[in-house]
Amino acid sequence: MTGLTRRALQIWLLLGTLLATTTTDAEAPYITVSSTTSTEQSGLFGHLLPAFTAKTGIAVRVVAVGTGQALKIGERGDCDVVFVHDTASELKFVADGFGIERHQVMYNDFVLIGPKSDPARVAGDRDIVGALRKIAEAKSRFVSRGDDSGTDKAEKRLWQVAAIDVKAASGTWYSDTGSGMGPTLNTAAALGAYALTDRGTWLSFENRRDLGIVVEGDRRLFNQYGVMLVNPSRYSSVKQEFGRQFIDWLVSADGQKTIATYMVNGQQLFFPNASPGS
């Protein structure tokens, strides 16, 4: 065999290997999960998804946005699974025929954070509605996500209960970032403002400056997460077999234990609470 022939054979073998690798990669199973910034920015997915992939061989590609946007992605059929945290919106998503088989997965809570100077004098309160009224009365800076996320929806409901029109206050003491929890917390830290956040993202957040938790423990701050398969009868592109495997694993003893073992600085961020038929 001449040098030229040997070289040509080596090239053909290399090309064959590359083509085989490319084909294998292309055929590797995966699902797309539309989820929230809280599950991503808290670090939960970095802990959770490798365990699922190791068990099933199915990779998970996450689109992390606010709950409202995550549901819209599901409504367009541009994902296989929706994993969010606004029960009312989730139930409507299913009722409208966009999703099926909603299951509750886990919960944590929301907390109100604010500057150590606490200009509205709310630190130590357990009444979130009363605290919001004090903030409005004092016209203390408050930063909202304003992105139709689960956190934003919860915050707006609390302002409504407090009978405070934040739209009228927008641009004065009340402002929104139109972005995720991390950027919103960064803005609150820079301005010395109050903000509502899920506890998981707060525990993972490092740029706190002089911010701290000022209100927690109110039952109205409960934060439930749910998961749904996008309706395969409506969208033929949905990978229902792989999507069901992901959902089944999340609510299984193995998945629930994996959620429970995620800690930051020794603190558990999410508490599994799946139940049969949930």
pLDDT per residue of the chain (278 residues) written in tens, 0 to 9: 554 444 444 444 444 544 444 434 456 899 999 999 888 888 999 999 999 999 999 999 999 998 999 999 999 999 999 999 999 999 999 999 999 989 999 999 999 999 999 999 999 989 999 999 999 999 999 999 998 889 999 999 999 999 999 999 888 999 999 888 889 999 999 999 999 999 988 988 888 889 999 999 999 999 999 999 999 999 999 999 999 999 999 999 999 999 999 998 899 999 999 975 44
Per the structure block, which two tokens stand in for 207?
């740029």
**Helix axes 67-75 and 150-161, enclosed angle (nearest 10):** 120
Strands 142-144 and 99-115: unpaired
Please give the model's pTM, rounded to 2 decimal places. Answer: 0.83
Of 164, 157, 274, the C-alpha closest to 227 is: 274
Q: Residues 10-107+225-272: name the CATH superfamily.
A: Periplasmic binding protein-like II (3.40.190.10)
**Helix axes 44-56 and 253-260, enclosed angle (nearest 10):** 150
Q: How many CB atoms lie within 10 A of CB 143?
A: 24
Between CA 266 and CA 253 the distance in angstroms is 22
pLDDT value, residue 27: 67
Alpha helices in the chain (DSSP H): 3-27, 37-41, 44-56, 67-75, 87-95, 128-138, 150-161, 166-169, 181-191, 199-204, 240-251, 253-260
CATH 3.40.190.10 segments of the chain: 10-107+225-272, 109-221
Amino acid (1-letter code) at residue 98: F
pLDDT value, residue 200: 87
Beta partners for residue 176, in sequence order: 144
Q: Residues 109-221: name the CATH superfamily.
A: Periplasmic binding protein-like II (3.40.190.10)
Beta partners for residue 268, in sequence order: 263
pLDDT value, residue 164: 96
pLDDT value, residue 207: 83
CA distances from 171 to 63, 122, 167 (A): 30, 22, 9
pLDDT value, residue 206: 81
